[in-house]
Amino acid sequence: MSDFKLNGWVLTLAAAAATCTTTANADIKIGLMVPLTGFAAADGKSALEGAKLAVAQANAKGGVKGEKLDLVIYDDQASPKEAVPTATKLIEKDKVVGAVSGSYSGSTRASAGVFQAAKVPYVTAYAIHPDITRAGDYMFRVSAMGEVQGRAGAKLVNDLGKKKVVLINVKNDFGQSLAVGFKEGAAKFGLTIAGEHEYSIQDRQFGALVSQVKSQEPEVIYASGYFYTAGPLVSQLRAAGVKATIIGQEGYDSDKFMEIAGAASEGVLVTTSLDRDSTNPATKAFLADFKQATKEGADMVAAATYTATNVMIEGLQKTGGKGGEALRDAMAAGTFDTPIGKLSFNDLHEVKKDIQVQVVKDKAFHRHSVISDAVLLAPPSKSSGQ
């Protein structure tokens, strides 16, 4: 069965299914690193449920060549210090054939080199820092990297017919990557950046920052963050009378953002990978299945981790359960129909995909538009020299 490391203790979980079904006879182990304690625990729970659903569905169909899949789960606390020994344990103790990151960029970046050195394929669900795939050819990412999402945000501003923007960046890998991409896009579209501000991931009170932003009179605020920082920030901006359009990113993509921000969340735009109004059969099926399994609505984190896990499972189907080079090559050559779009990997194992724009309307996420520009949204590649 699966090992789940929690605050130094190791607990046993039957985590290969969305129910309590045991997988004691499993022969094929997939690692999952998620933040189940600490500041990112809510995202970790969503990631865990997405991965569990993917494994449960695969096992219900016979697993891989009749062998059940076992999901070996560890809490990395979204901490680089926890991620390295955890990755080592998955490789050396648990003997996983591959692993999935359902965690943030800092911890995923730290563990990437460990998996690369061991030649264990590692699929990143939603961590966006560019250095993750640059760690080597055993790395994969199913979400659009930060710079791509940032450029999409700049195009959205332009598409809205607005020019004057203020940036608010969370001070970590996530915020830095998005800001770099947005500035690239801003230069292309002739946007004016009237101000740029930073805040810490621990911050919840934004009085001074809000006053500065208000004085700069932006038409649009491009603010990176997570639902637990974005909720208070958006609420305080609106309470101060700031009426500018607010654009967030995938970190906002949670019902909890709307719960925290309340009425202030209405009209907020979010660039993300999950379209709740999609007619894509894979998306509709995932949303329904996730709701049935968890009694909760899916967010981007759940959808991306479900996708990352399924990409690995489909690769294992092709290799007959073998990991290493065979699994790497199978995933690299594949095309995958997923809840977050049809995916294939370039030579750096990044995906080229449209960016979904959701809008909060009547306390729910709905489709606003789709950012589709093959040149603007092109991820870096080895051949391009980026």
What's the pLDDT tens digit per position in 74-104? 999 999 999 999 999 999 999 999 999 999 9
Q: CA Rg, the chain, in Å?
A: 20
Residue-range domains of the chain with CATH: 2-144+279-344 (3.40.50.2300), 146-272+355-371 (3.40.50.2300)
Nearest to 225 by CA among 26, 19, 39: 39
Distance, CA of 122 to CA of 176 (rounded, Å): 23
- Could you tell me if 127 and 176 are in contact, meaning their C-beta atoms sit under 8 angstroms apart? no
Per-residue pLDDT tens digits for 188-216 = 999 999 999 999 999 999 999 999 999 99
Mean per-residue pLDDT, 132-154: 96
- Give residue-wise pLDDT tens across range 322-359: 999 999 999 999 999 999 999 999 999 999 899 999 99
What span, in angstroms and rounded, lies between the C-alpha atoms of 83 and 9?
15
Q: How far apart are CA 108 and CA 121, in angstroms?
A: 13
At 225, phi and psi to the nearest 5?
Answer: 160, -175
